[in-house]
Structure 1
């Protein structure tokens, strides 16, 4: 499959890369990391990364401005996106050929070529694997900027190598990326330094979360609370792992209200929770998933489903 992907890439003069809405470091790492990798090795091709920019990822990169005309006869590559509804920039349908590269469960098998590896810690790790194949097959090269993006994606999706998805192969790829000599201190500052307002909200979470006798935790962050602390919904989502260190916590849910819906962020230390996410129109990994609900009554049903689980 990797060689089929490389052969397909070589056939197209224009390539547009997509990723999921509300991106995280792996979304940017895999999408823009792959864009830079292809641009380095195929300088004559026109290659774009599209999607709405996430300001909290300024330290990584910014996507491109892409016109409708750019999609004509273009190869579309979508990274880190399990289903078509979550693809950022729905113009992906305007391209000529579609490749899906992902590590989530393949519930929506879209695309002309699909490379899905649920054992990979991140799609950034899969791009390292693709580079390894490209290096042997077509003498691909990598540089410091690409390595930095892919490393950030791996670190982000493994929780700094703490999640169970971290494998020996993950660590081997991370070690190889470090040999390119990018500034790790600068990168980690970008990933983990936060404004005081976010720290104050974190304090609110620690004081107000609930946990029942079964180890199910929850916190509800309404629009009023977010306004009080001056924190955007996308920034509040960065705190979803805050309850991971609570003794006795087995799984937990963050509810984050925005102008249209209530975002549901599910995390677990053991119980498989993506079935709950799917029930509410979402999905994701067995231990890290997301969905959306419309009302706080529906949010209470999510908590009840976690208790039953």
Structure 2
């Protein structure tokens, strides 16, 4: 029998003696959800590695994923990088958490879900759907969420923890509201330099979490948030209409049609992306 993050597999011969670990880069703001494991390289020998919610290999946190015997990819982004021995991609799903909940439902005679796992899966659905506001939210999303809320975890506390914002991050959001540039055609750009991050005492990750803070601006169609890091400039792309993942792919990234990420290295590439976004919005005739 295997237990990890509240998921218990049936105690048949196939599961005897198995150990399940969760690894990757820790995100301090999500520490309340649970702790990751620290593993030595030898643990990967003979292992089955499962990578979730990661569209391409460049974005996998721990490069040791390739040391295992077999690799499974579970994702809901477009399958542009078809890595893995077994691939389960469902671009119609709101999140990997929705997919895994559906997997549990399909094999509920072999799998047991408890309160801990239900809380984590529900948190994943809430986060990826923006509290059920994003267009990726479907009837199936609500059905899977309804199945999870049958468990007695504290949803109010979960929401509070997911969306509480440190004071320095709130102040950075004020800077974003003041400085983001909105074009007449609905394109917008936000640029956050390392100096600004240092001024507000924020990390690049904290800044990234603010990418949707301007989404309610009247007339906004699509926007880019550029965030300077040590060796590159990370780009967060969001849209309320124009498809932006093809633009992301041109700059070492990808993602959903309305939510993507990319990486640039020069101010010339910053300007190129901005110009291309303006053109995308210019070609989009829908008024928002």
Which of the five TM-score ranges fits, normalised by the shorter chain?
over 0.9
Establish whether residue 112 from structure 1 lines up as the match of residue 85 from structure 2. yes
Establish whether residue 47 from structure 1 lines up as the match of residue 20 from structure 2. yes
Higher relative contact order (Cα pairs below 8 Å, separated by 6+ residues)? 1
Q: 1:183 to 1:235 in 2, by over 3 A?
A: same
**Offset, 1:48:** 0.6
C-alpha distance after superposition, 1:267-304 (max 9, x if no partner)? 00011000000000100000000001112221111110
Match of 2:45 in 1: 72
User: What is the 5 A alignment of 1:67-146?
Assistant: 67-136=40-109, 138=110, 140-146=111-117
More helix by share: 1
Of 189, 211, 223, which aligns to 1:218?
Answer: 189
Match of 1:288 in 2: 259
Say if 1:105 and 1:118, in contact at 8 Å, map to a contact too: yes
Structure 1 stretches (4+) deviating beyond 4 angstroms? 37-43
**Offset, 1:174:** 0.7
Of 197, 220, 224, which aligns to 2:168?
Answer: 197
Q: Please, which runs of 5 or more residues in structure 1 have no aligned partner?
A: 1-9, 14-33
Match of 1:5 in 2: none
CA separation in 2, counterparts of 1:180 and 1:112?
34
**Offset, 1:214:** 0.7
RMSD of aligned C-alpha atoms? 1.6
CA separation in 2, counterparts of 1:174 and 1:146?
13
Match of 1:4 in 2: none
Q: Between 43-52 and 67-76, report the one with greater CA deviation.
A: 43-52
Three-state SS of the structure 1 residue aligned to 2:268 is helix
CA separation in 2, counterparts of 1:52 and 1:207?
32
CA separation in 1, counterparts of 2:265 and 2:97?
32
Of 140, 149, 169, which aligns to 1:169?
Answer: 140
CA separation in 2, counterparts of 1:253 and 1:35?
38
Three-state SS of the structure 2 residue aligned to 1:240 is coil
Match of 2:5 in 1: 36
Report the TM-score when normalising by structure 1: 0.86
CA separation in 2, counterparts of 1:115 and 1:266?
25
Establish whether residue 272 from structure 1 lines up as the match of residue 255 from structure 2. no
Three-state SS of the structure 2 residue aligned to 1:290 is strand
Say if 2:6 and 2:116, in contact at 8 Å, map to a contact too: no
User: What is the 5 A alignment of 1:237-248?
Assistant: 237-248=208-219
**Offset, 1:35:** 4.8
Aligned residue pairs total 276
CA separation in 1, counterparts of 2:29 and 2:103?
27
**Offset, 1:39:** 4.6
CA separation in 2, counterparts of 1:300 and 1:111?
35
**Offset, 1:38:** 4.3
CA separation in 1, counterparts of 2:7 and 2:148?
17
Q: Please, which runs of 5 or more residues in structure 2 have no aligned partner?
A: 281-288
